[in-house]
Amino acid sequence: MNDINVTTEKKITSPTRIVVFEQNGSGHQKIDGIRKHGHNVKINKIYNIEASLPEFVEDPEKFIPENFTADLVLDFLKHPDLSEYLAKLCVNKKIPVVASGKKVKEAITPFTCCGLGKHKSLQSYSKEFGLPEFIIDVDDDGIIRDLKVVRGAPCGATWEVLSKMIGMSFEKALSTLPREVQYICGADPSRFDPISGKSPLHYAGDVHSAALKKAIHNAKKKKSG
């Protein structure tokens, strides 16, 4: 089998300074993924709220500090009252917030973390994390020889599964990749989108499959001249 060579495209820019808010370690998988696979981003501070919270939080300012600075805030909080307060606070501080899978008016809210589009306001984070992008090198028989992750999921699933695609045919990779991503995805499988009828797990598999199809198309086009 060919040697595995999975890399990430590097951008020479100033690191995006990130502050994370989570509850009881709720963002640990994505924090680990960002630290491992990010190149021009830096998590400067993590606020982990461990207190037991009531159904309605009337005084969110007791749990969300105001004296932080960042280029970007990632919201992995579980309580909607905290997320709403954090988003409004960040608006006042002119800091963009990504709150995946939530409905928060003042935040950027993709269905999943790997569904994030590119936003100029998110700087390097948006260039490295979100909707996956791949570059594939194939041999004359249509077997995947080499892979590059241009952009991937902050949970790290994109990087972790692609090494398994080395040596596979296009057809096998297209059926294997979504399933392998879903094994790693930490999203809540019970949360369904009422419009598409899909859970975050299905969505994560679909966006990775679509990205792989695009990379395969580009590879074929390149080979055909």
In the block, tokens 């989108």 appear at: 193
> Sorting pLDDT into bands at 50, 70 and 90, what band is 159?
very high
* 69 pLDDT more than 90: yes
In whole angstroms, what is the distance from residue 43 CA to residue 27 CA?
12
> Sorting pLDDT into bands at 50, 70 and 90, what band is 37?
very high
In CATH terms, are 12-128 and 130-224 the same topology?
no
Percentage of residues in the chain with pLDDT exceeding 90?
75
pLDDT at 125: 98
* 10 pLDDT more than 60: no
Residue range 111-139: mean pLDDT, rounded: 95
Q: What is the mean pLDDT of the chain?
A: 90
Edge to edge, the sheet with strand 144-151 lists 6-8, 144-151, 133-138
* 130 pLDDT more than 60: yes
Contact call for residues 38 and 10 (beta carbons, < 8 A): no
> Sorting pLDDT into bands at 50, 70 and 90, what band is 213?
very high
Residue range 150-168: mean pLDDT, rounded: 93
pLDDT at 192: 65
Contact call for residues 136 and 149 (beta carbons, < 8 A): no
Residue with more model confidence, 50 or 139: 50
Instruction: Note the pLDDT tens digit of each residue in 172-193.
Output: 999 999 999 999 987 776 666 6
Q: Please check whether the domain covering 12-128 is classified as CATH 3.40.50.
A: yes
Question: CB under 8 Å to 76, separation ≥6 — which residues?
Answer: 20, 21, 22, 23, 26, 27, 30
> Sorting pLDDT into bands at 50, 70 and 90, what band is 99?
very high
In whole angstroms, what is the distance from residue 35 CA to residue 26 CA?
16
Segments in the chain forming alpha helices (H):
28-37, 80-93, 123-128, 157-162, 170-184, 200-224
Q: Structure pTM?
A: 0.88
pLDDT at 193: 66
* 146 pLDDT more than 80: yes
> Sorting pLDDT into bands at 50, 70 and 90, what band is 50?
very high
Paired tokens of 55: 């159904």
130-224 fold: Sufe protein. Chain: A (3.90.1010)
pLDDT at 162: 86
Paired tokens of 64: 């969300």
So where are the chain's domains? 12-128, 130-224
